[in-house]
Amino acid sequence: MDQPESSLPHAAVQKGQTPRHEELVRLIAQSLYSLGYRKAAATLEAESGVPLYPPEHDRLLLDVMSGRWDACAATIDSLTGITERNRAVAEFLVWRGHFLELLGTGDAGLRLATEVLSRRIAPLAIDRRCVHWLARAVVTSEGAVAPEAVAECRIGLFLDLVEALPPWFRVPSGRLEHLVETAVIQQVASCIYHNLPDEVTLFEDHKCHEEQIPSDCRQILCAHKNEVWFVRFSNDGNYLASSSSDCTAIIWKVEEDDTLTKKYCLEGHKSPISFVAWSPNDRMLLTCGNGESLKLWNVDTGECNLKFGAAVKHIIASCAWFPNSEKIVCASSEPESSPNMIFTCDLEGQELEMWAGERIPKVSDLAVTPDGKHLICVMDSQ
């Protein structure tokens, strides 16, 4: 891919460079290389006068591949912005590489290998266990690098080395993309009206506007005779269920014009209803409340299909459906003296599984994961 000539004079670009400018150019070049735009990246390096890697990088690579170990150590010693610990680790890697190559040359290299171990590796005081292992290797030859494997080992050594060296020495892969993603995530996280599942564009700062959060009152529903404690839309969005301290729940239909009309008033509870749960297929609705039994309602007819109190002798505080709409899980809300319980039921009201005892804390809410394999409980304690 041929790049057009920049309109900026080469000298002017270099003159205006700052450390941040240099870093940015290097990140862009690396990103271009990783995207496969090698010519564009090389052009950028040439035009900006900022190489992707500093001269020390290329020098070290050459010295490692040529086995010039003293030169490697000298380059590492000359680096700035590196902790003494990391400098020692890098030197340790170099001398260990040299040591293992010497072992691979057989008896001829043993004396020299022992010398490298005692004069170069041991004084660095890095990884005492590894030093002991290297000392044993003098006898066992374990880890020795065979002559035919030298080139591959040196590549591995260089890759290990750059990991130990400061970020300016190598450009961590995908760094520019990481910075962009971090900026997007932070903008979304700080967007107080965020209400958009859409992709966020990079071409402008992300900001949701107030209008994207519903804020106009479209309708007031007055059918309940007392406080409304809980509302929830059906999964398909065609209905809304509301529960109230007037001991009823109401199923509302969402009309074409998005207004709500009362479909059924569910009567039969003797205490306030604090919770409703739509079956995943939206054909049934569960209602329960403090000091109340659990009831199952048919959404099509508005009739109570089952009062769970007959078979389940517990007061249900919270309930949730399994994904197949054929099983539910409940958490009991018993008086202080009774143990707490979590149990599953079929739609005939028969208990299937139960967890009870002192170790079960009081559950205030629960949910089943979409795959039906896990249960999530909100406990009052623990």
- Per CB under 5 A, residues contacting Zn ion are 191, 194, 208
Q: Rounded distance, CA 374 to CA 61, Å? A: 52
- Between 191 and 221, name the residue whose CB sits nearer to Zn ion: 191
Residue with tokens 């001829």: 108
Amino acid (one-letter) located at 141: S
- Answer for the pair 352, 327: CB distance below 8 angstroms, yes or no: yes
- Between 107 and 199, name the residue whose CB sits nearer to Zn ion: 199
Q: What b-and-e string marks burial along 158-192, b requiring 16 or more CB atoms within 10 Å of the CB?
A: beebbebbeebbbbeeebbeeeeeeebeeeeeebe
Minimum gap (Å) between residue 194 Cβ and Zn ion: 3
- Between 24 and 208, name the residue whose CB sits nearer to Zn ion: 208
- Between 138 and 191, name the residue whose CB sits nearer to Zn ion: 191
Minimum gap (Å) between residue 183 Cβ and Zn ion: 14
- Between 194 and 307, name the residue whose CB sits nearer to Zn ion: 194
Q: Pick from 59, 121, 119: which is nearest to 95 by CA?
A: 121
- Between 192 and 220, name the residue whose CB sits nearer to Zn ion: 192
Q: What is the 3-state secondary structure (H, E, C) of 238-270?
A: CEEEEEECCCCEEEEEECCCCCEEEEEEECCCC
Minimum gap (Å) between residue 331 Cβ and Zn ion: 35
Minimum gap (Å) between residue 95 Cβ and Zn ion: 54
- Between 79 and 208, name the residue whose CB sits nearer to Zn ion: 208
- Between 207 and 225, name the residue whose CB sits nearer to Zn ion: 207
Minimum gap (Å) between residue 323 Cβ and Zn ion: 30
Residue with tokens 């309109």: 7
Q: Rounded distance, CA 280 to CA 297, Å? A: 14
Residue 157 burial (10 A CB sphere; 0-12, 13-18, 19+): buried
- CB atoms near residue 20 (< 10 Å): 8
Minimum gap (Å) between residue 186 Cβ and Zn ion: 12
- Between 13 and 191, name the residue whose CB sits nearer to Zn ion: 191
Minimum gap (Å) between residue 216 Cβ and Zn ion: 19
Q: Rounded distance, CA 106 to CA 220, Å? A: 90
Q: Are strands 341-346 and 327-332 parallel, antiparallel or unpaired?
A: antiparallel
Minimum gap (Å) between residue 179 Cβ and Zn ion: 20
Minimum gap (Å) between residue 180 Cβ and Zn ion: 17
